[in-house]
Structure formats: structure tokens, C-alpha cells
Amino acid sequence: MRRIVSSAGMITIDDTGSAPGRGGYLHPDPRCLEKFAASKVKEFRSLKSPIARDQRLRIIEAVKGSIALDS
């Protein structure tokens, strides 16, 4: 699971698991990432923040990149 954090209007990946701000978790499975990208919800409940589709795609690429670094 990868933690994403909303802080000061920015959404970032929290690799340390201790970044300040509202957090939520994103499973790195390709099906979960596709579902996250295709989501039409206006606001992500755990983050209490909307995430635009282009921003979600950037988050997905960053998650994929961090998975490659873990391998």
C-alpha cells in the first residue's frame, strides 16, 4: 500500500508514512490504480480533497515508479 497525503492543497506520495496532512492509501495493484484513475467521485473522503484526473494520473506514475525502486 502506498500512502498519499493532502497537505496545503498538494497531493503527494508519503514514502515515510509519517508526513503531516490528511492521508489515504492506494493499493499498487494495476486494477486498483485503474479504478483510482477512472473514479468520478468529486472528493476523496479520506483526503477531504478533490483530485483532478490529470493529477491522479501523475500519482499513479509516481506509485509505479516507487514500486520499481522497491524491487
pLDDT tens figures, 41-68: 888 888 988 888 899 999 999 888 876 6
Range of the domain at 41: 2-70
Domains: count for the chain? 1
Q: Show the 3-state SS of 2-64.
A: EEEEEECCEEEEECCCCCCCEEEEECCCHHHHHHHHHCCCCCECCCCECCCHHHHHHHHHHHH
pLDDT band at 70 (very low <50, low <70, confident <90, very high): low
Residue with C-alpha cell 467521485?
Answer: 41
Q: What is the CATH number of the domain that holds 27?
A: 3.30.1230.10
Phi/psi at 17 (nearest 5 deg)? 80, 10
